[in-house]
Amino acid sequence: MTDVLRRGRAALAFSFFAQGVAFALLVTRIPAIQDRYGVSDGLLPLFLAAVPILAGVGSVCTEHLVKKVPPSLVLRWSQPVVLLALLGVGAGEQMVVLGAALAAFGLAVGALDASMNMLGVSLQRAYGRSIMLGFHAVYSLGGIAGASLAWVGAHWDLALVVSYLPVVVVLLPAVLVGSRWYVDAEPTEERKEEDTLQAGPGAGGAVAFKLLLPLCLVMCFAYIGDSTVSNWSAKYLQDVLGSSEQLATVPYNVYMVTTLIGRSLGDFGVRRFGAVAVVRAGAVVAAVGFAVVAGAPGAWVGMLGFTLLGLGLCVLVPQTFAAAGRLFPGASDAAVARLNIFNYVGFLIGSPLVGALGDLWSYRGAMLVPMVLVLVTLVYARSFETQPDRYGGGHERPRTADVGRGSNGL
C-alpha cells in the first residue's frame, strides 16, 4: 500500500475525530446555549430542527458540487466553517447571531459529513478491504472527547466561548494542515471495466433511487435508534426505571464507549464474515438491546440494554455508506450524498416519535418502535452483499490501487 494512501487514511481519520469533537460540544451544551441567548422552550425545538434540515440541504448541494470539484476540496473548506460556526455560537449574544451561526453549522456539517464519507468509501475501495468502521470509530472517540470537554466546561461553569475557543484554536490549524494529504482515490481503468460487468445497474455512473432506497431506510432506522438513545436514555432511566440523576447520565456515555469498541473491531468482522453477516448481527443485537430496555425491571438492567444498543447500532451506518459505494461504483459520490440525507431524516424523526409515543402510550412501549424498525434491516440485509469486494475469507482483492487526484495542489 502506498504512503499516499496511508497518509490520506490518517488525515481523513483525524477529520472524523475533529467532527466528532465539534458536534459533541454543540449538542451537549444545548442548555447553556439556551440560557445564554434566552431561547424559550417553545422556540428551542425550531432551532434544533433547523440544523439537521440545513445539513440535508448541504448534503444535496455537495452531490452537485463534487461534479465540478473533488470531495477533498469540499472537506478541506467545510470543516473550518463548522469549527468557526461552533465558535460563533459560543461568542454571540443576540438571537440573530445564534441563528446565523447554527445555519452555517448545519449547511457545513451536511457538506462535511457527505464529503468525509465519500473519501472514506473511495479509500476503502483503493485499499480493497473494510476500513470504513475504523473511520467512524474515530468519530465516536471524538464524540467522547467532546462530551468530556463539555462536562468540564459545565462543571467549572465556564462561558461557552471559553470552552469552545481552545478547541477551535487547536483543531482548526490541525485540520487545515491535515487536509494537504486527503486523497481522492479512483479505481484503475481495468477495475472500472470489471465494475461495469459485475456491479450491474450502478456501474454506469447513475444512481437509481429504487436500488438505493433499502440503504436509505436502513440509514434512517439506524439514526432513529441512535437519536432515541441520545435524547431519551437519561430521562428513561430516571423517570421510568427510577435511577438517581447522576446514574441517569451514565447510559449515553456507556453507549458511546461501546459504539467505539464495536466500530474498532467491526472491520475485522467484515473481513472475516462479510458485510451481510455483520449487519444482521448488529441489527439483532440492537433489537435485543431495545427489548431489554423496554422490559428492564431496574436501572442496571436498563444500562445493560443501552450497552447492547451501542454494540449493535454502531456497525449499521458505516456499512450502509460502504454498501452504497459498492452498489454504485460509477457514482459513489452521488450515492453517498443522497444516502447521507437520511442520516438527518432519522435524527429528526427519532426523538419526536419516541416522545409522542411516550406521552400517548408509555415510554416502555415507545422503545419497541425503534426495535421493530431496526429489525426491518434484516429484510434489506442482502443489499449489503459484497460480490467482488467481499473482504476477507479469501475474497480480498490484491492491494493494488491507482490513486487519483490528491488535494495537495488544490
- In tens, the pLDDT along 45-97 reads 888 889 999 999 999 999 999 999 999 999 999 999 999 999 999 999 999 99
Chain mean pLDDT for the chain: 88
Phi, psi of 406 (to 5 degrees): -90, 180
* Superfamily for the 1-186 domain: MFS general substrate transporter like domains (1.20.1250.20)
Point out the least confidently predicted range of 26-30, 185-189, 193-197, 198-202.
193-197
Phi, psi of 183 (to 5 degrees): -130, 130
* Superfamily for the 190-395 domain: MFS general substrate transporter like domains (1.20.1250.20)
Share of the chain above pLDDT 70, in %: 88
Find out whether 195 and 315 touch, Cβ atoms under 8 Å: no
Q: What integer is the mean pLDDT of 360-375?
A: 95
Phi, psi of 393 (to 5 degrees): 60, 30
Q: What is the predicted pLDDT for the residue at 394?
A: 38
Report the alpha-carbon distance of residue 212 to residue 376 in Å, rounded. 16
CA distances, 156 to each of 86, 248, 368, 373 (Å) = 20, 20, 38, 40
Q: What integer is the mean pLDDT of 186-214?
A: 56
Q: Which three cell numbers stand for residue 398?
A: 490484491
Q: What is the predicted pLDDT for the residue at 386?
A: 64
| Residues contacting 196, CB < 8 A, separation 6+ | 203, 204, 330
Residue 88 CB: number of other CB atoms within 10 A? 19
Report the alpha-carbon distance of residue 253 to residue 126 in Å, rounded. 34
What are the tens digits of pLDDT across the range 275-298?
999 999 999 999 999 999 999 999
Q: Which sequence spans correspond to the domains of the chain?
A: 1-186, 190-395
Find out whether 398 and 191 touch, Cβ atoms under 8 Å: no
